[in-house]
Structure 1
């Protein structure tokens, strides 16, 4: 199955084709009230740890090291992606951040790991889980 996950700044205009809009930053964006945004969810737990963000923003670690450590964080707690996976199964999902540069932010990592988890789950759903399931796929002469 194909899933559509878009990446966008929270300050960008709201568009009708955004689908489900989820803020995935740890902190609420400056200058915006909850009433001014059309959000379906705020998933703080998906955002990178404060210390990791700080090291990256202060340029004490490289972009590649930030991405590597953040992937490790999410892989250690895969349940954090479950809400995003549920929304992606419904339709288009737009992940939102206050970061100025989306490609240098944590959003591409979230998108990659969410799509990977969805694909893994879909693949495992297609495998036969028990012998009664197998019986329906075997020709009657082999049953």
Structure 2
């Protein structure tokens, strides 16, 4: 299971493995006060993409599409998180004010899609339900 949680919300034992997925450290948040298992700066959107979205130059749909392109190009940054998500709860920690339109939500969606692609139904066996040609 993959969850998203703002850095300013209290950590919970139910969070599982907590990963900060922002390139910048959350403002007004001391490192010793933010419980994390890992900080993956390189998994965050590029500086250019982040700035364009934050300034309003890009709408969320365009940001989402471009961030997904960045993720496609760099699987080494997110691959290990798939295993974490398969084994237990994974919480993506972010600092954005908007709890719906942010990079953590896009990343969570991306990881869920990747898990689905690797799932049982993604093998050639998934064609077994089709009747053979007559």
Could you say which TM-score interval applies, normalised by the shorter chain?
Answer: 0.7 to 0.9
Alpha-carbon deviation of 1:78?
Answer: 1.9
From 83, 88, 91, the equivalent of 2:85 is 88
Q: Alpha-carbon deviations, 1:30-64, whole Å to 9, x = none?
A: 22222112101101111000001111111111111
Alpha-carbon deviation of 1:94?
Answer: 0.7
* Larger Rg over CA atoms: 1
Q: Which whole-Å CA distance do the structure 2 matches of 1:34 and 1:56 have between them?
A: 26
1:32 has 2:29 as partner? yes
- Which residue is equivalent to 2:97? 100
SS in 2 for 1:120: helix
Q: Which whole-Å CA distance do the structure 1 matches of 2:94 and 2:22 have between them?
A: 6
User: Cα RMSD over matched residues?
Assistant: 1.8
Q: Which whole-Å CA distance do the structure 2 matches of 1:76 and 1:44 have between them?
A: 16
Q: How does 1:47-62 map to 2 (within 5 A)?
A: 47-62=44-59
Which ranges in structure 1 are unaligned for 5 or more consecutive residues?
A: 129-143
SS in 1 for 2:79: helix
The number of residues matched between the two structures is: 125
Alpha-carbon deviation of 1:123?
Answer: 3.6
- Which residue is equivalent to 2:43? 46
From 110, 125, 130, the equivalent of 1:113 is 110
Q: TM (normalized to structure 1)? A: 0.80
Which ranges in structure 2 are unaligned for 5 or more consecutive residues?
A: 126-134
